[in-house]
Amino acid sequence: MPLFLDSANLQDVRQAAELGFIAGVTTNPTLVARAGLDGKQAVREILEIIDGPVFYQVTAADVEGRSAEAREVFDFAPERMHIKIPSTLENFALAKHLTDEGINCAMTAVYTSAQAYLAGQVGATYIAPYVHRITTSIGDGVGTIRDCAAVLKGTPTRIVAASLKSVDEVMAVLIAGAHDVTIPLDLILQLAEHELSQQAIRDFSAAAKFS
């Protein structure tokens, strides 16, 4: 169950890389804009910082442009790049053409198990369901992960759950069948901490003074 950093902030990427257990980095146009970077340059720099997979989302206005953009960015590091493509009918067709060429495609903005099914049919390496957005807009995000896992069973397509806002939500999607999760740095740090763990450390330290 690999853990990905969801960020285009290079400082966050460096801090995450230092932890030693982050599998890779996912980016999207919003994160890139928030970091004040050019998307392609951001990906090049992230590839230099971290050893694992890196995800880049195409943004061109038409299929031809997205196709060219996908090929260009994939060539940055073919063994590690995954091209994120939003889930629409024309983009599923695009992903099929790209995967047939050996380009790793990750279908993003997934909201339904039907979209997950199509992602499996076109050979996507990943789907990225927007869990919290599903819950707040149309229903049960964790339940959608469970349905996607059932639909994709027996396929190589992995579920990297995105749009996660709390530790409880992260754990719920993993239990529901997500293969991986992608979350911001602050939530990664929260996974490691609990007030009772800190209390136990204080208790052990106090006891050690009398040993």
For residue 196, what pLDDT is reported? 74
For residue 198, what pLDDT is reported? 73
Distance (Å, whole) CA 140 – CA 169 = 11
For residue 84, what pLDDT is reported? 98
For residue 211, what pLDDT is reported? 58
Q: Which of 84, 153, 165, 209 is catalytic?
A: 84
For residue 152, what pLDDT is reported? 98
Task: Name every residue whose Cβ is closer than 8 Å to that of residue 95 and which is 6 or more positions away in sequence.
Answer: 85, 105, 107, 119, 122, 123, 124
Q: Where are the domains of the chain?
A: 3-208
DSSP symbol at 128: E
Strand pairing of 3-6 and 81-86? unpaired
Cβ count near 86 (within 10 Å): 15
Q: Is 209 a catalytic residue?
A: no
* Class at the top of the CATH hierarchy for domain 3-208: alpha beta
CA distances from 67 to 39, 54, 71, 95, 177 (A): 16, 18, 6, 9, 31
The secondary element (H helix, E strand) that includes residue 206 is: helix 195-208
Over the range 35-53, which residues count as b (16 or more CB within 10 Å of their CB) and which as e? bebebeebbeebbeebeeb
pTM exceeds 0.75: yes
> Consecutive 10-residue runs of the chain (211 residues): their mean pLDDT?
95 96 96 93 96 97 97 97 98 98 98 98 98 95 98 97 98 98 97 75 64 58
Tokens of 136: 């707040």
